[in-house]
Each structure stands twice: as structure tokens, then as C-alpha cells.
């Protein structure tokens, strides 16, 4: 019998969103520093850009999911999970 996936709870979306916002900040900084240190066409710079694009795609997908799963909540609260104001400074990505 196939497994039924339940998705994240709203609280889990909020937690993961906060972490991904911090990871995004770290990757933006890394991409800029890498390009400035090794050049925009370097392998390191291209990989940093690719990592940033992958993170952007993940945030977008999870944002779509949280919106679909929580239609009864206010829009500002739901859309704030992945793109709202930062809530934490202790990044798991640094």
C-alpha cells in the first residue's frame, strides 16, 4: 500500500522558512564574495549561483505548499513563512 504523505504542519513551515531565509542570506553573501574573489566565470562562482537558484526553487515550492495547505489562515501570515521578515539570527547554514 502506498504511503500517504501528510506534509509539514504550519509551525514546521514557519521553522523551515526561518532557516531557509538565513541560508538565503548566507548564500547571497557567499555568491558575491566568491565572484569578487575568483571571478564570475569561475567554477566556484557558478556553483554558488547554482546553489542559490536551487534554494530559491525550494523556497518557492514550499511557499506554494504552505499556501495550498493553509487557505483558512490570513494571507500575510502564510506568505510570511518563506518570504516574510527574518525572525532568527542563528543560521544553521553558516
Taking residue 23's Cβ as centre, other Cβ atoms within 10 Å add up to 19
pTM, 2 dp: 0.83
What are the domain boundaries of the chain? 10-83
CA 92 to chain centre: 12
pLDDT of residue 85: 62
**pLDDT tier at 88, thresholds 50, 70, 90:** very low
pLDDT of residue 79: 87
Rounded Cα gap, residues 7 and 13, in angstroms: 9
Mean pLDDT of 20-25: 96
pLDDT of residue 24: 96
pLDDT of residue 93: 44
pLDDT tens-place string over residues 35-75: 999 999 999 999 999 999 999 999 999 999 999 999 999 88
Cα dihedral 8, 81, 86, 51, rounded to 10, equals 70
Average model confidence (pLDDT) across the chain = 89
Q: Does the structure show a pLDDT above 50 at 94?
A: no
Amino acid at each position: 500500500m502506498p504511503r500517504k504523505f501528510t506534509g509539514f504542519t504550519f509551525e514546521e513551515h514557519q521553522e523551515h522558512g526561518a532557516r531557509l531565509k538565513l541560508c538565503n542570506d548566507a548564500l547571497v553573501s557567499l555568491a558575491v564574495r566568491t565572484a569578487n574573489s575568483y571571478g564570475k566565470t569561475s567554477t566556484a562562482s557558478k556553483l554558488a549561483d547554482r546553489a542559490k537558484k536551487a534554494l530559491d526553487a525550494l523556497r518557492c515550492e514550499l511557499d506554494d505548499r504552505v499556501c495550498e495547505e493553509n487557505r483558512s489562515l490570513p494571507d500575510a501570515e502564510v506568505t510570511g513563512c518563506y518570504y516574510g521578515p527574518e525572525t532568527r539570527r542563528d543560521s544553521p547554514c553558516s
